[in-house]
Amino acid sequence: MNRIQNKLSQNKKLLSIYFTAGYPKINDTVSIIQELEKSGVDMIEIGLPFSDPLADGPTIQASSTAALQNGMTTKLLFEQLRTIRESIQIPLLIMGYFNPILQFGVAEFCRKCSETGIDGLIIPDLPVDIYEKEYKSTFEKFGLTNVFLITPQTSDERIRFIDSISNGFIYMVSSSSVTGSSDGFSEIQTNYFKRISEMNLKNPLIVGFGINNKKTFEQATKATSGAIIGSAFVKHLTKNGISKIDSFISGIRLF
Amino acid sequence: MTYNIDKNGFYGEFGGAFIPEMLYANVEELRQNYLKISNETSFKTEFENLLRDFAGRPTPLYFAERLSKKYNTKIYLKREDLCHTGAHKINNTIGQILMAKHLGKTRIIAETGAGQHGVATATVCALMGLQCIVYMGEIDIKRQSPNVARMKMLGAEVRPATSGSKTLKDATNEAIRDWINNPIDTYYIIGSVVGPHPYPDMVAKFQSVISDEIQKQLLEKEGRENPDYVIACVGGGSNAAGAFYHFLDNENVKLIAVEAAGKGIHSGESAATSVLGKVGIIHGSKTLLMQSPDGQITEPYSISAGLDYPGVGPMHANLYQTKRAEFLAITDDEAMQSGLELAKTEGIIPAIESAHAFAVLDKKPFKPDDVVVISLSGRGDKDLNTYIDYFKL
C-alpha cells in the first residue's frame, strides 16, 4: 500500500491542498509543504507552473506566471524537493501540464518523482487513452499513481473505464468549470456528487474546483472521500505570504 | 503513404487531442459528428450556396502576367483576398457556423489575433443571428482597433484576454476556458488548423475549397489540374492547408510553406516555428512549437499579426518532418518589399501575411514553364497603417 492508498484508507474526510511551486517566492516551496503538514492537511498537490494553463482560472494562472518569472523550472523544483521526505510524511503529488513533463522526458520525470518521494501525478491534458497506450507502464514502473479527472459531462461508461485504470483516487471536478470560479454548490452539483458516489467505484472520489471554505468543503465531502482546495489557498498566499497557513486550514476543517 | 489525417486524429506523430477532461464531451461530440454532418447533402448544399452567394466564391485564379515576366515563370494568384471580409478565413467560419447550427448550439465563441478570424466569425454569427463572443489579447485590441470596431458593428462582444502575454495564444486559452465553463450551449469556432482533433482536419476540409478550385481553374487555363508549385504562408496554417489539400498526396506538386522570420530567424524576434520549434503540446495538439528548454511556450514575433502563432498546425508539422513540403522563412523586410512589389506590378495590395509567400520568388529559381500558384490569402487594407509606417507613405 502506497502513501496515497494508506491515507485514503483512514476513513476520514481528506483535505488536500494545491499550491503553485515557486509562488509567492521562489524558495517558498518547502516551507509551504511543511506548514501545510503541520496544519493537519492530508495531502498536497504541488503545482508545476506552466505558461498556458488552460484548465485553470485566473488565480492559478497568475500564480504560475509569477512563479515562472521568479525562475521556477522543473529541474529547480526537484532540487527544492530533494530532501523533502526527511521531514514530510503525507502524500505528495505533482500537478502539471503535459508539455513541460514531455520536454523533461516522461521517463526521466517519473524517475525523479520516484527518487524524490512523490507519490502521484495529476496531468489534466494527458488524455486517458494516450496515457494507457504510451505511458502507463512507465508510471507503474516508478510506482507513481496517476490521477484522472471526471466532470458532470463524463459518461458513466467513461467513468467506469477511468476507474478501471486508476489506482489511487478519482479527481471529481465539481462542475464543468475552470478552477476558482464558483461559490457554494448548487443542488445539481451535490446531486452529481451523490450520483457518482452511488456508482460504487473501486477508487475513492476526491472533489476539486469551487471549494473555498468550510461550507463548500463539507458539501463536497458529504458523499465523497475528500476535497481539494487550490485557488482559495493561492489567494491566501497572495495576501499573506507563507504566514497564517494554519489559520487558513483551521478555517476549513478542525482537527 | 498519405499526408492526410489518420483514423486516430494524427498526421504522423502530430495531432491528437491533448485536452483536459472538462473538454472531452464537447470535443468528442464534434469528433463523432463532424464528418457525418459535413457529408450530408443538406449541409453541403447550404455550405456551397453561402460560399458562392455570401463569400463570393469561386475566387479567381489570376495569371499574373507582369510578375511572371519579371521572374520568367508562370505565376498564378489564387485570389482569396477577394473573399467577403478580405481573406480566406470566411470559408472556415461559414463551415463551422453551419456545424454549430447542426449541433444545436446557440452561443459562439472564437479567438482572434489580428482580428481577421474574429471579423469572419462575427460576420457569420450576424448572418445566422447567433450570439458571438470573441476573445482577443489586450495588446492586440490596441494594435488592431479597426477590426475591433468591425466586430462590434457586426454585433459581437470582444472580450480582452488579459493573462500571460495578452496576445493570440492567450486569447486562445481564454476561449478554451470559456468553452470549459459553458459546455452545453457553446460552440468554439477555431480560426486555424490548430487545436485538438478534429479541429485541424475539419478546418482543413472547409478550407480545401481553395485547392479544389485551383484544380478546376488550372485545367481550364493550362489544360492540367496540377501546378508544379503551390506556395502559401503559414501562421497556424489554414490557408496553406486549404491550398495544399488536394495536392497533398501528389508528390509531383511541390509544396512551399512560408513562415515569418520576423527580424531574422535567430534574432529572438521571429515566428519561424519549423526552425525554432520542438515537438510539444499546444492548445490540445501535439505539434512543433516555440518553447523554452523547460517546455514553457514562448511568444513569437512577426510584423504580420496573422503569422505570430507559436505553433503550426499538426498537418504542417508532419509536412515539415517528412519533407513533403519545403519550409522557407521570410523576414519582415523581405515581406514588406514583396508587398510593395505586388502592388506596383499587379495592382494588388496584399495582406502582409500573404506578402511573405511572394517573397519566395526572390529566394528560389523557377523554370520558365513551371506553373507556380501562390495563395494570396488576404488583402492589405487592414495593414495600411503598417505599410504607411514602414514605407513612410
- CA nearest to B176 within chain A: A54
The candidate with the shortest Cα–Cα distance to B109, out of B61, B55, B63, B175, is B175
Model's pTM, two decimal places?
A: 0.96
Q: For B11-50+89-202, which CATH class?
A: alpha beta
The pLDDT-based confidence of B143 (bands split at 50, 70, 90) is confident
Q: CB B294 to CB A58 under 8 A?
A: no
The pLDDT-based confidence of A190 (bands split at 50, 70, 90) is confident
pLDDT score recorded for residue B234:
97
Structure-block grid coordinates of residue B102: 447542426
pLDDT in tens, B152-207: 999 999 999 998 778 898 999 999 999 999 989 999 999 999 999 999 999 999 99
Looking only at the bridges linking them, the beta strands covering B371-376 and B74-79 are parallel
- Res A254 pLDDT > 90: no
Mean per-residue pLDDT for A67-78?
Answer: 98
Mean per-residue pLDDT for A7-24?
Answer: 94
- Which of these ranges, A63-72, B159-168, B233-242, B248-257, has the smallest mean pLDDT? B159-168
- Res B89 pLDDT > 60: yes
Question: Which helix H or strand E contains B320, and what residues bound it?
Answer: helix B314-321
CA atoms within a 13 Å half-sphere pointing along the CA-CB vector of B76: 26
Average predicted confidence (pLDDT) for chain A = 94
A176 interaction partners in chain B (CB closer than 8 Å) = 22, 180-181, 183
Mean per-residue pLDDT for B337-364?
Answer: 98
What percent of chain B is modeled with pLDDT above 70? 100
- Res A180 pLDDT > 60: no
- Res B66 pLDDT > 70: yes
Q: What kind of fold does domain A13-245 have according to CATH?
A: TIM Barrel (3.20.20)
What percent of chain A is modeled with pLDDT above 70? 96
User: Which residues are CB-contacts of B386 (< 8 A; sequence separation ≥ 6)?
Assistant: B303, B352
A106 interaction partners in chain B (CB closer than 8 Å) = none
- Which of these ranges, A133-142, A173-182, B253-262, has the smallest mean pLDDT? A173-182
If interface means Cβ-Cβ distance under 8 Å, which residues of chain B face chain A? 16-22, 24-26, 163-164, 169-170, 173, 176-177, 180-181, 183, 278-284, 291, 293-298
Chain center to CA of A65: 19
What residues does each domain of chain B span? 11-50+89-202, 58-87+208-391
Strand B14-15's sheet: what is its strand order? B10-11, B14-15, B285-289, B278-282
pLDDT score recorded for residue B101:
97
| Predicted-complex ipTM score | 0.94
A126 interaction partners in chain B (CB closer than 8 Å) = 18
Mean per-residue pLDDT for B338-365?
Answer: 98
Identity of residue A45: E
Structure-block grid coordinates of residue B244: 495544399
Contact B171, B140 (CB under 8 A): yes
pLDDT score recorded for residue A179:
60
The pLDDT-based confidence of A46 (bands split at 50, 70, 90) is very high
* Enzyme catalytic residues of B: 89, 111, 377
Q: CB A65 to CB B163 under 8 A?
A: yes
- CA nearest to A124 within chain B: B20
What percent of chain B is modeled with pLDDT above 90? 94
pLDDT score recorded for residue A223:
92
Q: CB B180 to CB A177 under 8 A?
A: yes
pLDDT in tens, A99-146: 999 999 999 999 999 999 999 999 999 999 999 999 999 999 999 999
pLDDT score recorded for residue A183:
65
- Res A181 pLDDT > 70: no
Identify from A76, A134, A176 which residue to disrupt to test chain B contact, counting B C-beta atoms within 10 A and taking the largest count.
Answer: A176
pLDDT score recorded for residue B17:
97
A101 interaction partners in chain B (CB closer than 8 Å) = 295
Average predicted confidence (pLDDT) for chain B = 96
- Which of these ranges, A216-220, B139-143, B314-318, B340-344, has the smallest mean pLDDT? B139-143
Query: Could you tell me if A181 lies within 8 Å of chain B, comparing CB atoms?
Result: yes
Q: Which CATH architecture has domain B58-87+208-391?
A: 3-Layer(aba) Sandwich (3.40)
